[in-house]
Amino acid sequence: METLLLRRSDVIQLLDVAAVIPLLREAFCAYSHERTIAAQRARYPLSSLGTVMVLAPGLNARIPAYTVKVHAKFPDQQPAIRGVLQLYDLQTGQLLAVMDSTYITAVRTGIAGALAAHELARSDATTIAVVGAGAQGRHLLQSLARMRQVKRVQVFDTNTKTAEIYAHELSAALRLPIAVAPSIAVAVAHADIIFTATWSRQPFLFPEMVSPGAHISTIGPDEPGKCELDATLIRQSLFVCDDRELAVTMGAIGGASLSSEAIAAELGDILNAAHPGRTSPEQLTVYGGVGVAFQDLVAAWHVYQQAQHHQIGTSIDFLY
């Protein structure tokens, strides 16, 4: 029984973002209304410098496989997140593939945050603020640009040089005017859509900083103690998550010391029209995504199929 090994360069070559967007949309709908097994996510500190996390199982009723992901987070390193994603046959348990998790994690998280923004933001929202100019901030903007017209972007990062590189590279790639903001307040002041993707453990967005009718996708809080949005800001919003329980235990809700009562819906509920979502142009909407294993499965299955079709990767028999 052979297992396909895929390097990060292979995954980048094989992952078609445009193809994965509708697959993830469908998977969010299924997750909120068809799941029989709750998301299982374990996190362990390695040292003062990093943590390791295991996400299992990644399941989707339409995919005959499951995933287990093991990856570590070292904020001072590049890339800050690194690990492997293992794809198994759902019927036999055969290990079908082992692939780099770094790129898949960034892409699927960017698609999720952008998909939520596209669904929850006003239809005329075109002005974007990005807080955090790392890999995740890039994928959020790139994914949103595939879904709707973007006219103007302001980016802020605590490292000004990183923000300048972001603005230079993405303005050329997306053919958009992107300016580096001198502060978070300036970046978000007139933004229709705000993306936050940081390592922050303290809130930095407050109600008075955000325009009426704005949408915020807060992606940073994915471990206990991480926080980007003030509790009052969340309470004043229509708050949507990817998984209710995880939003409380390790997401934006828990990070702001709030309870599940602050959650209006899961993203799958919005996409399924089981919840109306935004109900007025002045309403503030927030998506807080922790990241759930089914998202990895959707992307990994797509990559695996493409690898087989194009005969890319190295095969090895672990049982030999």
Q: How many residues does the chain have?
A: 320
Each residue's pLDDT tens digit, 74-116: 888 888 888 999 999 999 999 999 999 999 999 999 999 999 9
pLDDT band at 48 (very low <50, low <70, confident <90, very high): confident
Q: How far apart are CA 62 and CA 81, in angstroms?
A: 28
Residue 231 has pLDDT above 90, yes or no: yes
Residue 38 has pLDDT above 90, yes or no: no
pLDDT at 184: 98
Residue 34 has pLDDT above 90, yes or no: no
Beta-carbon contacts of residue 104 (< 8 Å; ≥ 6 apart): 11, 15, 85, 296, 299, 300, 303
Other C-beta atoms closer than 10 Å to the C-beta of 214 total 24
pLDDT band at 45 (very low <50, low <70, confident <90, very high): confident
What are the structural domains of the chain? 3-105+293-316 (3.30.1780.10), 111-288 (3.40.50.720)
**The 152-156 sheet, strands edge to edge:** 178-180, 152-156, 127-131, 193-196, 215-218, 285-288, 238-241, 265-266
Cβ–Cβ under 8 Å, residues 1 and 298: no
pLDDT band at 310 (very low <50, low <70, confident <90, very high): very high
Q: How far apart are CA 80 and CA 101, in angstroms?
A: 12
pLDDT band at 44 (very low <50, low <70, confident <90, very high): confident
**Mean of all residue pLDDT scores within the chain:** 95
Cβ–Cβ under 8 Å, residues 107 and 20: yes
Each residue's pLDDT tens digit, 129-153: 999 999 999 999 999 999 999 999 9
pLDDT band at 47 (very low <50, low <70, confident <90, very high): confident
Cβ–Cβ under 8 Å, residues 236 and 262: no
Q: How far apart are CA 25 and CA 250, in angstroms?
A: 23
Evaluate the CA torsion angle 18, 20, 22, 28 in order and state its sign.
negative
Query: Three-state SS for 319?
Result: coil
pLDDT band at 213 (very low <50, low <70, confident <90, very high): very high
HSE toward the beta carbon, residue 275, CA cutoff 13 A: 20
Q: How far apart are CA 181 and CA 184, in angstroms?
A: 7
pLDDT at 98: 98
pTM, full prediction: 0.95
Q: How far apart are CA 210 and CA 135, in angstroms?
A: 24
Dihedral of the CA atoms 245, 248, 251, 253 (nearest 10)?
Answer: 130
pLDDT band at 270 (very low <50, low <70, confident <90, very high): very high
Residue 195: which of 273, 152, 133, 258 has the closest Cα?
133
